[in-house]
Chain A
Amino acid sequence: MEPSKLRYTATHEWVSLEGSKARIGITDHAQKEISDIVFVELPQEGKVVKQKDSAMVIESVKAAFDIYSPVSGKIVKVNSTLKEKPETINRAPFGEGWLFEVECSDPKEIGSLMTEDQYNAVKHEAH
């Protein structure tokens, strides 16, 4: 994914939108901050989430981190390769290290997300 074409949350998730389907991951800044990722607990496909709900957990050697869904909708796909190779998120946070896909129930929510420039301006603030 081209970071400039993505949308971002203040809590370090990124969203790439294709039609009404949103692919979600964490930013490069976030993967650097949480360090070596050793385990992911992926959400169930079919689960319905609301915007800002905790959708899954990423564990680094340091701590467990909740991942908040940037959009509302049904989780239609998860990146199951992460079960065996969670370190892919550290290696390619914007690419192969994506987390899950949501069929958006309210595409207007995308408007509430940040551009890359906006995210870069706030990413060092504590969230």
Chain B
Amino acid sequence: MTLLQEPAALKKTPLYDRHVALGGKIVNFGGWALPVYYESLLTEHRWTREHCGLFDVSHLGEILVEGPGAFQFLQYRLTNDLRKLEEGKIIYSLLLDERGRTLDDILIYGSRPGSYYLIVNASNIARDMEALKKYAPEDARLVDLSDQMACIAVQGPKAETVLEKLFGFTLQALPYYHWKEERFQGETVWVSRSGYTGEDGFEIFSKNELAPAIWDRLNTDGRAEGVKPAGLGARNTLRLEAGNVLYGNELDETTTPLEAGLKFAVSFEKGGFVGRDLLMVQNERGPARLLVGFKVLDKAIAREHYPIYGGGHKIGSVTSGSFGPTANANIGMGYVERKFAVPGTTIEIEIHGRRIPAEVVKRPFVTKNHKKGL
């Protein structure tokens, strides 16, 4: 067999030495040296669902947009309506090209008036900066903070108790998709109730220098409270079960938000935005293809790029696929022609030369356990 390789010259997060010391299996994740698992992906996945998983997501990019023109600029550059975004709130949005195709999916953290933090995918930071600058007015300043900031995700049913107990944070009243400033070792950190796993959880953003101390407290005192480190492998199976899209899999510069089922993050009502015209056309006609979730009806795992068949011809391809440890089924997502995108429809996926039946199902594949807010 051909094993996965570890190219040299990868970027390292401030927690790299911790991952190595913990015996993490380090892989190249979009140019970053990050652990795919420490001991076992399955164990880390299940542990996060039942207790509390500790993830290094410092590779994420952070871009500050501020100034008197910041609101108007982002309102035009991104798809969601920033009028929904009061201070302390987070909204999901897409960054599109002029043809309505997806350059990135982004979380916007609303700060004081005229100040926004964009949390972007690691592999897209440079291109996002270019795509933003292209439209930025003089009275909106863009600052790429990615190299200075770390992010630690604490995910699972015990996350709130763990963070309140270990750090003295006050999080009980913080709703899902909201964030607040907290203090750690005399410095400001941002804590948001957010994450990708389908569980309640938090993400702690700090400057790089603070991250090792935050990690160490979680990984030492936290152990007695149910904390265990988990790698990117578990993060991926957790997000897949939660039905969450991932840039580079479900989203790329060929897909539109309407095809990906992300219309909730597109505000046609707010006025003009980059990519709107072609999206409007697609919205009126209905997209030719749609993203669906599926369950494989046989013991076989559908992987990225495998072709999907329906009615005797190729109707699309798989964007993500894995064994779902909590769903206890072989699950995945992929684009199919619209008429096949109905739950209950049987499709076929070509897996190692054989066409295996699969059923289109509603996402998520597991019950989400987000803290209700608002």
Residues of A within 8 A of B (CB): 11-13, 26, 30, 33-36, 38-39, 41, 57-68, 83, 126-127
Q: Is the CB of A35 within 8 A of B1?
A: no
B301's partner among A11, A30, A38, A127 (CB-CB below 8 A) is: A38
Kindly state whether residue B370 has any CB partner on chain A within 8 Å.
no
Stretch at the interface among B35-43, B52-60, B119-127, B361-369: B35-43
Q: Is the CB of B303 within 8 A of A63?
A: yes
Q: Is the CB of B2 within 8 A of A83?
A: no
CB proximity of A62 to chain B, nearest CB, Å? 6
Chain B, Cβ-Cβ closest to A60: B41
B323's partner among A34, A39, A65 (CB-CB below 8 A) is: A39
Chain B, Cβ-Cβ closest to A12: B1
B42's partner among A36, A59, A126 (CB-CB below 8 A) is: A36
Query: In the complex, which residues 9-63 of chain B have their Cβ closer than 8 Å to any Cβ of chain A?
Result: 25, 36-37, 40-42, 45
User: B36 to chain A: which residues have CB within 8 Å?
Assistant: 35, 62
Given contact pairs A35-B37, A65-B1, A126-B3, a sample of 6 additional A-B residue pairs in the complex whose CB atoms are under 8 Å apart: A12-B1, A35-B233, A39-B300, A39-B323, A61-B237, A67-B1
Query: In the complex, which residues 286-323 of chain B have their Cβ closer than 8 Å to any Cβ of chain A?
Result: 299-301, 303, 322-323
User: B83 to chain A: which residues have CB within 8 Å?
Assistant: none
User: B42 to chain A: which residues have CB within 8 Å?
Assistant: 36, 38, 61
Q: Is the CB of A36 within 8 A of B1?
A: no
Q: A57-B352, A127-B3 are in contact. Are A64 and B25 (CB under 8 A)?
A: no
A30's partner among B1, B233, B323 (CB-CB below 8 A) is: B1
- Chain B contact-residue range equals 20 to 34
Q: Is the CB of B1 within 8 A of A68?
A: yes
Kindly state whether residue B374 has any CB partner on chain A within 8 Å.
no
Q: Is the CB of A83 within 8 A of B4?
A: no
A61's partner among B2, B233, B299, B352 (CB-CB below 8 A) is: B233
Kindly state whether residue B67 has any CB partner on chain A within 8 Å.
no
Give the docked Cα–Cα distance between A121 and B333 (Å): 41
Give the docked Cα–Cα distance between A83 and B298 (Å): 12
Q: Is the CB of B1 within 8 A of A39?
A: no
User: B6 to chain A: which residues have CB within 8 Å?
Assistant: 126
Q: Is the CB of B301 within 8 A of A34?
A: no
20 contacts across the A-B interface (CB closer than 8 A): A12-B3, A13-B1, A30-B1, A34-B1, A35-B41, A36-B41, A38-B301, A39-B323, A39-B330, A61-B41, A61-B45, A61-B233, A62-B4, A63-B303, A64-B303, A65-B1, A65-B3, A66-B1, A126-B6, A127-B2
Query: In the complex, which residues 329-356 of chain B have their Cβ closer than 8 Å to any Cβ of chain A?
Result: 330, 352
Q: Is the CB of A64 within 8 A of B301?
A: yes
Kindly state whether residue B5 has any CB partner on chain A within 8 Å.
yes
User: B237 to chain A: which residues have CB within 8 Å?
Assistant: 61
Kindly state whether residue B88 has any CB partner on chain A within 8 Å.
no
CB proximity of A52 to chain B, nearest CB, Å? 12
Q: A59-B301, A61-B323, A64-B303 are in contact. Are A35 and B3 (CB under 8 A)?
A: no
CB proximity of A88 to chain B, nearest CB, Å? 15
Chain A, Cβ-Cβ closest to B330: A39
Q: A65-B1, A65-B2, A66-B2 are in contact. Are A39 and B299 (CB under 8 A)?
A: yes
Chain B, Cβ-Cβ closest to A64: B303
Give the docked Cα–Cα distance between A12 and B85 (Å): 53
CB proximity of B332 to chain A, nearest CB, Å? 13
Q: Is the CB of B5 within 8 A of A126?
A: yes
User: B299 to chain A: which residues have CB within 8 Å?
Assistant: 39, 83
Q: A35-B37, A35-B41, A83-B299 are in contact. Are A11 and B2 (CB under 8 A)?
A: yes
Give the docked Cα–Cα distance between A26 and B299 (Å): 21
CB proximity of A40 to chain B, nearest CB, Å? 9
Kindly state whether residue B114 has any CB partner on chain A within 8 Å.
no
B1's partner among A41, A58, A126 (CB-CB below 8 A) is: A58
Sort A-B residue pairs by CB-CB distance and give the 6 closest, nearest first: A65-B1, A38-B323, A126-B5, A61-B41, A36-B42, A59-B301
A34's partner among B3, B300, B303 (CB-CB below 8 A) is: B3
